[in-house]
């Protein structure tokens, strides 16, 4: 069977490019003495998580407990949940996981600390804790060294919890500055920072320049995508995931409709539309309905015919895989496998 | 059990509001002599499709064959695929469906006509055909009465196909003008237009003012959403679907983080953020990461605490349900059922 036998829209991954991407990032981290802890949010596929560990990753990262439950069930043993877990429902589930796997969580508040504490108490297993700090994204994370130290001090005093270090997203120049300040304050308090975990594929190749960083959390590098190409972390040749689509209508000379809408590509936008049609780089996907991609052909001399198949490079791989129950695996044009996206939809 | 027992993020539907919405639209269509053919793309749930038919719908609408396959398997018997089906893989699947259910398809090209023809030939069952025309959306659909008539003439001459009429999306003032022109031309050619199918919830309540319209295809009305409220087709009291979320971080006085990101709410944006927090209408969800909603609290005097639960009204219900494997059904605060989103991800 070949990729041409697939009905569209179809998310197709080129396994040779995936292998190359996995090896390259592992090699980069190895050569700089950085631990690699891949984020499985991009692929959500057991085979790829195992493969990442097999190649040298120290463990994996999950954003949600539901993802971790899938990964522990298939034998992954070292998992960081890089997300604040809040409340007793989450504590109970974390406790179950900690009974089987080495679990680490990131916290940025007393409430998240209480959740981790409750989980450790009911599981009996030790849970590692990183304190998350904000390095400029203004997302989660404490905003001062004092806050980080106060949480770390509480963690070290809490039975069942182990303070491992600090975490942030993404890794930035500010990361190094925060860590330098934290090192001094934590040293004075007699608390060791063993791990400094940074994240984000766009600037992954600069991770070794960030002072104090010990661990790299990256997800998108497994497939890359159009946004990564635009941000310079990859070239088009590194992009492993495409959505194969069919031209289903050509109402006018300058308009084509593809059968991949926001339910196949997501609504994640970039400056130049909702994805790149590899065969027609001058065409612009200027609007998505749920099942239609509206393609403007005014600046494309070549015009696709109805029934023609094209490959769309999505803007953002991580949200695309989360839309599909299965990913088709290809080597070149050969369709060699189909993988269930086992952690798809595990947002809880 | 109550909705408070659900772990978050959780898509919750208020069944009392759903019933009210279904009844109101059916009553509107009945009172104006319009057939209602609900689009199941919004809910993708067998129970609700059956309920719509039970209340008086003439059949259902699906966008993709995969949705229709789910609905035929659970006993729906009259289905319009309001989407151009292209190619032999699609023809074979359409043929199978036509062997069981009354199938109608919309076409806007010779290639789509060839696909329908092939399906009818191999199934032996008659397939109804609507010719889609463009009423201003510049999406799919022929752009002239002449094109519509040429396709209709071919359909009437094709064994196994039955020309039923015209279809468009959305219903607009231009719809009536196009239909008036078409009626004249089709009359001269001796071809009857029995069905004129229009669509779209935003202007559904004006359907009776559009000359010649016989059928209403609407999907979002089952749940409504923030976009519909902004467009005036519903009030906040008509909105049946919310994503329950938890505040997981409060890094600063004016920022809260919810555990529902673009993998729970989708990236569909409106002028004022990515959803409305019902308990904090002055708060703005100004950015989504995959699992984080960044909420700006500057204009909200009340500030939610970490661990607090809120209800987020999504901008666009149809893409939200497609992210979740299950929908939780509530009556008031009572959690009374859990429905599988059976046609979730059926984009092919």
Q: What is the pLDDT of residue A270?
A: 84
Q: What is the pLDDT of residue A155?
A: 98
Report helix, strand or coil for B123.
helix
Task: State the pLDDT confidence band at B270, using cuts at 50, 70 and 90.
Answer: confident
Report helix, strand or coil for B60.
strand
For B274-333, what is each residue's pLDDT tens digit? 999 999 999 999 999 999 999 999 999 999 999 999 999 999 999 999 999 999 999 999
Q: Which residues on B lie below 8 Å from A139 (Cβ)?
A: 251, 257, 289, 292, 294
For B221-256, what is each residue's pLDDT tens digit? 999 999 999 999 999 999 999 999 999 999 999 999
Tally A–B CB contacts below 8 A: 165
Cβ-contact A166, A135 below 8 angstroms: no
CB pair distance less than 8 Å for A260 and B347: yes
B184 contacts: CB under 8 Å, gap ≥ 6: none
Chain-centre distance for alpha carbon B247: 30
Please identify among residues 129-148 of chain A the ones whose CB lies closer than 8 Å to any CB of chain B. 134, 138-143
Cα angle value A221/A289/A312 (rounded, 5°):
35
For A86-101, what is each residue's pLDDT tens digit? 999 999 999 999 999 9
Q: Would you tell me how many other CB atoms lie within 10 Å of the CB of residue B282?
A: 12
Copy the structure tokens of residue B294.
């960044």
For B37-95, what is each residue's pLDDT tens digit? 999 999 999 999 999 999 999 999 999 999 999 999 999 999 999 999 999 999 999 99
**Per-residue model confidence as pLDDT tens for chain A (348 residues):** 999 999 999 999 999 999 999 999 999 999 999 999 999 999 999 999 999 999 999 999 999 999 999 999 999 999 999 999 999 999 999 999 999 999 999 999 999 999 999 999 999 999 999 999 999 999 999 999 999 999 999 999 999 999 999 999 999 999 999 999 999 999 999 999 999 999 999 999 999 999 999 999 999 999 999 999 999 999 999 999 999 999 999 999 999 999 999 999 999 998 889 999 999 999 999 999 999 999 999 999 999 999 999 999 999 999 999 999 999 999 999 999 999 999 999 999
d(CA A48, CA A57): 12
Of the partner residues B266, B290, B306, the one whose CB lies closest to the CB of residue A41: B290
Q: Does any CB of chain B come closer than 8 Å to the CB of residue A277?
A: no
Q: What are the distances in angstroms from CA A219 to CA A18, A167, A229, A316, A343?
A: 12, 16, 15, 11, 14
Q: What is the pLDDT of residue B150?
A: 98
Q: Is the dihedral of CA B246, B267, A315, B39 positive or negative?
A: positive
Cα angle value B230/B309/B266 (rounded, 5°):
45
pTM score:
0.97
């Amino acid at each position: 069977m070949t990729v041409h036998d697939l009905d569209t829209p179809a998310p197709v991954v080129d396994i040779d490019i995936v292998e190359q991407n996995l090896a390259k990032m592992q090699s980069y981290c190895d050569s700089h003495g950085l631990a690699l802890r891949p984020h499985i949010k991009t692929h959500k596929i057991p085979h790829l998580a195992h493969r990442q560990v097999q190649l040298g990753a120290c463990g994996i990262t999950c954003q949600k407990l539901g993802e971790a439950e899938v990964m522990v069930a298939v034998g992954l043993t070292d998992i960081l949940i890089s997300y604040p877990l809040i409340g007793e429902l989450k504590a109970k589930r974390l406790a179950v996981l900690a009974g089987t796997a080495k679990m680490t969580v990131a916290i940025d508040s007393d409430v998240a600390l209480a959740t981790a504490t409750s989980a450790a108490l009911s599981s009996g297993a030790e849970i590692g804790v990183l304190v998350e700090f904000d390095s400029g994204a203004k997302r989660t994370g404490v905003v001062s060294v004092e806050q980080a130290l106060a949480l770390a001090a509480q963690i070290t005093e809490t039975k069942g919890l182990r303070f491992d270090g600090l975490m942030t997203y993404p890794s930035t120049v500010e990361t190094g500055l925060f860590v330098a300040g934290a090192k001094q304050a934590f040293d004075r308090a007699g608390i060791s920072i063993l791990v400094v975990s940074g994240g984000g594929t766009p600037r992954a190749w600069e991770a070794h320049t960030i002072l104090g960083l010990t661990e790299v959390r990256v997800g998108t590098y497994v497939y890359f995508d159009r946004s990564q190409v635009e941000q310079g972390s990859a070239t088009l040749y590194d992009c492993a995931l495409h959505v194969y689509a069919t031209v289903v209508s050509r109402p006018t000379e300058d308009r084509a409709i593809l059968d991949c809408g926001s339910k196949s590509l997501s609504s994640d936008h970039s400056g130049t539309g909702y994805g790149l049609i590899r065969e027609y780089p001058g065409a612009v996907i200027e609007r998505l309905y749920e099942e239609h991609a509206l393609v403007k052909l005014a600046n494309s001399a070549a015009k696709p015919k109805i029934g023609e198949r094209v490959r769309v490079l999505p803007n953002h791989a991580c949200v695309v895989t989360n839309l599909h129950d299965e990913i088709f695996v290809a080597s070149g044009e050969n369709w060699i496998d189909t993988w269930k996206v086992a952690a798809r939809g595990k947002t809880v």
